[in-house]
Structure 1
Amino acid sequence: MKTEHVMIGVSIAAALAALPSIALASASNAALAGIDTTEAPRVTQTVDNRVVSTLGNTHLSLLDKVSPTGAVADSTPMNHMLLVLQRSALRTNALENLIAAQHDPSSSKFHQWVTPDEFGQNFGVSDADINAVTSWLTSQGFKVNGIYPNKMQVDFSGTAGQVRTAFHTQENHYIVNHVSHVANASDISMPTALRDVVVGVAGLNDFRPQAQHKQPQVAQFSASNQRFKIQQSPKSNTTAGPSPMVSFSGGVRGFAPYDMQTIYNTSPLYTSGLTGKGITIAVVEDQDMDVSDWPNFVTQFGLGGYGGTYKQFQPLLSPDTGNCTDPGGNSPDGESIETVLDSEYTTAIAPGANIWVATCNDAGSSNFFGGVFTAASNLINGASRPDVISASYGYGEGFTDSASKMAIDLMWAQADAEGISVFVSSGDSGSNPSFNGSIINGVGVDANAFATSPNDTGVGGSDTADVLDGDSSKYFNTTLNPVYGSAKSYVPEITWNQSCGNTRAAKDLINSTALQFCKNALIYDPYGYYVTSESGSGGPSSVDRKPSWQRIVHGAAKDQSRDLPDVSLFAGSYGGYSWVILCTGSYPCAANFTSPVVLEGGTSLSSPMFAGIQALVDQGLSAAGGSVDQGNAAPTLYQLANAEYGGANGKAPSTLAGCDANNGTKGTGKCVFHNITDGGNSTQCIELQGEVPATTDCYYYGTIQNFEGLFGPAQVGLTSTSATKYNSTTAAYAAQAGWSFANGLGSVNATNLLSAWKSFNGL
């Protein structure tokens, strides 16, 4: 029932305030020893619907320039929204200090992890304050479905009309980039008495992240040349590079697990018994896969002897809020290629690990990140939790409201405090991750909101340099081995960039700059069919501040932002020559590839592979007497990089040049990191005729008179931090020695990584 004046009775408030202090530190958990986060309730005033405050940035500002196509009917269900709560400064500082100590080998709290209940009791919102906000929600007619153990999220449901009345905002329909969306038209308001404990509501819009994989290709293997002939091609504007300048008429290359294992040197770990056995990796998804795919993949690529396991399920809370339902897709014609890719290539790197495919239906939740967010959050708050999580989805911070962003960050912080290592794809569209499969249009530099938390590790994309360099025979055999691999060793890497902004391609193919390369391409491609923004993503956060550990390495950006990516692994190749092989329901892998297979790539490949590497590290550290869980990998990765690359200031050590990826195996054999210093992720960007320029982060070099034959004239440019000039300094962004926005710290030698990590942990 709707009320205009809700009061928490004075006697009730007084009783709550008078409750005896509860010592929250658990005597059984050393992580919480000495931590006292006891505090009085922060909701102390009468909750009056007539006295309200606006919560800033709780609607998407990009919609201010878009006219709604109509109002959402009041009767429209709004299911499983999240009231995102705000912890006090005391508890915020306590949590940050604990997480720092959990990653410090000299601290008594090193690797002392907490449970979801311990997290909620010590770092969530007090029970009294939760009672205040849930009582108010109920009084407004909403159904409270449950409170998360972290005591930071309240799951509730209602209607658009109830949202309009309670939060003073109208839900509207919008068309953005030719896609229909629902979103709130303005920032929300709510009773001032609750303002200190509420950030906002996640779930008032349906802008969800996209899977960060390339358009899949169906290809047939040719035994005569050991290559794959593509049978089905993607839409033209997602095809890599100007076709007149690069042609692979003899077919393309399909990488098998063996190749990734060889390039990133995981094979020696298998020999020593480290396969990921006993470690659980969860991939979080919003659609199922055909469960027959995984055993087929394991069989065809010789991974069956390592003892890995697989299960696909819907992670539920206890008591279940009903926010995770089966999304379906467990069939050849309905499965998600993203889910297939994630599950198969975690196994490719950690063949002995337990793989959890955790899926939740987008339709079962209207919160911003839909099923992917729900799957991850339910796992982290569950009774049974994974050691590692990989999330291969993303959208820019510019497409994320403050409540949704806060929910993401608190989720990854909780995972970190519990010891879970989280890896997130940085994105597949260069300096703005919101345009996977399309072209950056009308927006500036951005970073993946799902990855910019300081409590996860962002994984970007690299490419092997051998194709452009013309020396593939140095690194690959001409004939595939019994498990379909051909790699001989590590292969020099460059930034994955499929646009004409690829500086290495420009140098190797026309011996000129990327800008000239793009101008030349415009001559051969006047309609823009090969214009693309496809590239590994990286950029600075506009929300999260720079963590201290990201400041300690050579090349670190001189900014105050959490920057992406942290590391990179193979994602794709210029011209679309190199891919990884998938076994899907519609195209199962047959012996000797006598039937067609699916070829894939993207940072959705990079993230699960790094999750696999982490599983090997976890098992190795546990076998040496350390903790099986490491929490966020990034702080340790940057400490190890500091030893090879040097600090942010001062003279760089000789190992910085020695670990350059261009050295190949010569000189890098003892390195933990392969420092990727060639290429960059500056890609093409456009401005369609009649649109008001919304960004200066694009340097326009020409005009397409009839863009793709569909849209009329368009300006085309390269992403740049300057609209008036384009060079290696302004390109967004160039690879460089040390850390870079293009590739982070670079890729890794997994065997050397484990050895260095052991030393760092004192093992």
Structure 2
Amino acid sequence: MGRLGGVASRVAALALLSGCGEEEAVGSATESYTSGGSDTTDPGLETMGGWSGSSGWVTTGPEDPIGPCGSDPLCLPPGEMVPTEKPDGLPSPLPGVYDDQGPAPPDNQFRALIGFPTRQRGLLESRVALMYSSGPWFRRYMTVEAWMADHAPPENDVALVENWLRSRGFSIDFEAKNRLLVQFSGTVADFNATFQTELHICMRKNPLWEDPPFPVYCTLDRFTLPKFVAERTNGLCTADLPAEKGELSKEVGEVVSDPPGPEAYGPRVFYGAYNMHPLFDAGFTGKGSTLGIVAAGTYHSIDLQIFWKSFGIERELPTRVAVMEPVFERVTETALDTQWATAMAPGAATTVYEGPDARNTSLLFTWNHAIAENKVEVLTFSFAHREDSEPKPLRHQYDESALMGAALGMTLISASGDSGMPDTPCSSPYVTCVGGTRLIADPEGVIESEWAWVMSGSGPAKTFARPYWQDGDVTHDRRAMADLALHSSTEYPMWMRRWAKWEFFGGTSFAAPAFAGMIAVVNEHRRARGLPRVGYLNPTLYLHAPTRKTFRDIKYGATEHYKAGPGWDYPTGIGAPDMTALAQALP
């Protein structure tokens, strides 16, 4: 196992994965696990109330409600109502990203998410480290039931906060299965009065290059919460305009083969360049594997089937899961992700988790829901936002969910973004961050060259300390991105079928779903050998020498800020995968 086993000695004192109740002796609601000796005293490392210096929050509130009040906020003593500043998850105006349009009308409606911390977070991080190091607990994943029993936010804490929100005139719309998130809604006037702030409307630059900006709520000042709410929550993670309503238009057209021309790459280029053919030839297509896609809106199923038919792919349609408010629009990113993820794993059962739109409230809740359900082995996310444009509580709440996914044995994959800078949720150490290359290859994927793509999202995280598995590669004290890279260049774009016609684009939005599909095929290969699914990839990618050798080092090319070079580098991580070799090497 090489260096993969190195973490075991650091957490040997917490080797209590049996779930026999012993964790109470070593774990508490306030302890934390600091990864790899990271320098958490660095004054440049962002900190927050309740932030421990490890890769997530810690619970600061008591295990039980105060006194005899139970979940009744009206019975709490006055000291628990003291206004307490708490970081909020709403963006502030940022030129070129969030443009302030002034105060929101008081009678406007809103929907918002309040986040709750993982209970005994430090113990859970230690458990996860042991699950992915050599030893008796290697790949012994938790069940949802075990996670809920040991690490879910206390039911009474969630009920207390929900009842307080109701007492302020808000409606509770959705509660996450794992209790990490609650969506509530009401008027802007009540929001401003409750949180002692003023919502503004900002126009958000659309992550899709060709699409127009869209309105979101933003604030100029930090929120204030009652003390008992501030202590039991991570604060407000998001606040957005209400989800729009409408009817999803009917699909038209017939499913026909309509192969596009040579102007862009199709799936076969990826099959060849990343050595998928030997797996396919051996009969491995992802059958029996489960693949999930976090989506906004939905896709056009006729376009999807034409995409498959035109590239010689035969497979079943995905299962669609509406997570929140009803979906009424079709979204380019969702169509792209679905086409390319399913093309890489034609045998994998695929679930598309559909939130109502591409605003933070929908994306965060949908991401968390897909993880909490634990019905897919691999989950991909491509609605990346630049990390420095997103508030700290939002980044941390993505990480709360990602840690649960790692504990359950899920592989969480995110596009690194197309800004040349770090993105969210890639910055979470529990997410495998897929950067971009510029691949020149023939239609069968025979490679002429592969360099770092100039726009590959990459760099040191603002939010998270360097994890132990990057100690040997990264000198900075922050989590570093990317972890690996696949072709993303707009100079040599990829085909997608969009709104009854062929179009071509670039971006890591192709690389992430493609790699997710490839991992679904690897999971079928593992089952055939009697091995469990790969789960959380990052420790193995970095520390298991045979696995690492299956990646082609990308030595040339650069972003605006970082160059590729021998060994690990920011734009391309450990390099581009040989998927057949990776399937054989993974322990």
Selected match of 2:269 from 249, 252, 259:
259
Does residue 346 of structure 1 match 2:316?
no
Does residue 386 of structure 1 match 2:376?
yes
Q: Which runs of 5 or more residues in structure 2 are unaligned?
A: 1-15, 30-61, 68-75, 206-212, 244-258
How far apart are 1:376 and its partner, in Å? 2.1
Selected match of 2:103 from 68, 71, 88:
71
Counterpart amino acid of residue 86 in structure 2: L
Taking the TM superposition and a 5 Å limit, the aligned residue runs for 1:699-714 are none
How far apart are 1:61 and its partner, in Å? 4.7
2:515 maps to 610
Distance change in 2, residues 1:424/1:630 (3 Å) = same
1:492 maps to 449
2:482 maps to 565
1:284 maps to 294
How far apart are 1:107 and its partner, in Å? 3.0
Contact kept? 1:207, 1:369, Cα under 8 Å: no
Does residue 191 of structure 1 match 2:258?
no
Taking the TM superposition and a 5 Å limit, the aligned residue runs for 1:568-607 are 568-572=485-489, 576=491, 578-587=492-501, 597-607=502-512
How far apart are 1:563 and its partner, in Å? 1.1
Matched residues, number: 507
2:564 maps to 735
How far apart are 1:561 and its partner, in Å? 0.7
How far apart are 1:172 and its partner, in Å? 1.4
Secondary structure at 2:87's aligned position in 1?
Answer: coil
Distance change in 2, residues 1:121/1:165 (3 Å) = farther
Query: Residues 286-342 of structure 1, C-alpha deviation per residue, up to 9 Å, x if partnerless?
Result: 1221111222222222222xxx322252344xxxxxx3421322xxxxxx3322221
Secondary structure at 1:738's aligned position in 2?
Answer: coil
2:246 maps to none
Selected match of 1:311 from 313, 318, 343:
318
Contact kept? 1:31, 1:98, Cα under 8 Å: no
Selected match of 2:550 from 657, 672, 675:
672
Secondary structure at 1:255's aligned position in 2?
Answer: coil
Selected match of 2:402 from 412, 428, 433:
412
d(CA) in 2 for partners of 1:740, 1:296:
38
Secondary structure at 1:273's aligned position in 2?
Answer: coil
1:537 maps to 457
Secondary structure at 1:430's aligned position in 2?
Answer: coil
2:543 maps to 639
Secondary structure at 2:515's aligned position in 1?
Answer: helix
Counterpart amino acid of residue 267 in structure 1: H
Counterpart amino acid of residue 568 in structure 2: W
Secondary structure at 2:179's aligned position in 1?
Answer: coil
Counterpart amino acid of residue 610 in structure 1: F
Selected match of 1:122 from 150, 170, 181:
150
Query: Residues 27-82 of structure 1, C-alpha deviation per residue, up to 9 Å, x if partnerless?
Result: 9x956774346876254373547511101355535569999543222222222x22
Query: Residues 548-602 of structure 1, C-alpha deviation per residue, up to 9 Å, x if partnerless?
Result: 11223xxx231111111100001125xx2x2222234421xxxxxxxxx322221
TM-score, normalization: structure 2? 0.80
Selected match of 1:551 from 471, 479, 486:
471
Distance change in 2, residues 1:103/1:47 (3 Å) = farther
Counterpart amino acid of residue 738 in structure 1: G
Query: Residues 691-716 of structure 1, C-alpha deviation per residue, up to 9 Å, x if partnerless?
Result: xxxxxxxxxxxxxxxxxxxxxxxxxx
Contact kept? 1:387, 1:419, Cα under 8 Å: yes
Contact kept? 1:181, 1:207, Cα under 8 Å: no
Does residue 275 of structure 1 match 2:285?
yes
How far apart are 1:176 and its partner, in Å? 6.2
Taking the TM superposition and a 5 Å limit, the aligned residue runs for 1:113-512 are 113-175=141-203, 180-204=215-239, 228=261, 253-304=263-314, 308-316=315-323, 323-329=324-330, 336-362=331-357, 369-382=360-373, 385-431=375-421, 447-464=422-439, 466=440, 476=442, 485-487=443-445, 489-497=446-454
How far apart are 1:634 and its partner, in Å? 1.5
Contact kept? 2:304, 2:339, Cα under 8 Å: yes
Counterpart amino acid of residue 456 in structure 1: V
Counterpart amino acid of residue 66 in structure 2: T
1:626 maps to 531
1:85 maps to 116
Query: Residues 436-479 of structure 1, C-alpha deviation per residue, up to 9 Å, x if partnerless?
Result: xxxxxxxxxxx102211111100011012x5xxxxxxxx63xxx
Counterpart amino acid of residue 204 in structure 1: A
Contact kept? 1:276, 1:619, Cα under 8 Å: yes
Contact kept? 1:314, 1:375, Cα under 8 Å: no
Secondary structure at 1:166's aligned position in 2?
Answer: helix
How far apart are 1:117 and its partner, in Å? 4.1
d(CA) in 1 for partners of 2:19, 2:288:
24
How far apart are 1:638 and its partner, in Å? 1.0
Secondary structure at 1:424's aligned position in 2?
Answer: strand
Does residue 750 of structure 1 match 2:579?
yes
Contact kept? 1:58, 1:403, Cα under 8 Å: yes
Query: Residues 369-426 of structure 1, C-alpha deviation per residue, up to 9 Å, x if partnerless?
Result: 24333322222222x6111111111112222122212221111111111111111000
d(CA) in 2 for partners of 1:291, 1:568:
29
Q: Which runs of 5 or more residues in structure 1 are unaligned?
A: 1-26, 209-225, 229-251, 317-322, 330-335, 432-446, 467-474, 477-484, 498-534, 588-596, 646-670, 683-731
Contact kept? 1:83, 1:155, Cα under 8 Å: yes
d(CA) in 2 for partners of 1:561, 1:615:
30
d(CA) in 2 for partners of 1:103, 1:227:
43
Distance change in 2, residues 1:744/1:60 (3 Å) = same
1:660 maps to none
Contact kept? 1:283, 1:389, Cα under 8 Å: yes
Secondary structure at 2:493's aligned position in 1?
Answer: strand
Counterpart amino acid of residue 567 in structure 1: L
1:681 maps to 559
d(CA) in 2 for partners of 1:618, 1:630:
7
d(CA) in 1 for partners of 2:117, 2:362:
23
d(CA) in 1 for partners of 2:122, 2:136:
17
Selected match of 1:44 from 66, 73, 79:
66
Distance change in 2, residues 1:165/1:608 (3 Å) = same
1:215 maps to none
Distance change in 2, residues 1:362/1:644 (3 Å) = closer
Counterpart amino acid of residue 110 in structure 2: M
d(CA) in 2 for partners of 1:621, 1:175:
47
Distance change in 2, residues 1:47/1:391 (3 Å) = farther
Contact kept? 1:312, 1:359, Cα under 8 Å: no
Contact kept? 2:110, 2:240, Cα under 8 Å: no
How far apart are 1:632 and its partner, in Å? 1.8
TM-score, normalization: structure 1? 0.62
d(CA) in 1 for partners of 2:271, 2:203:
44
1:696 maps to none
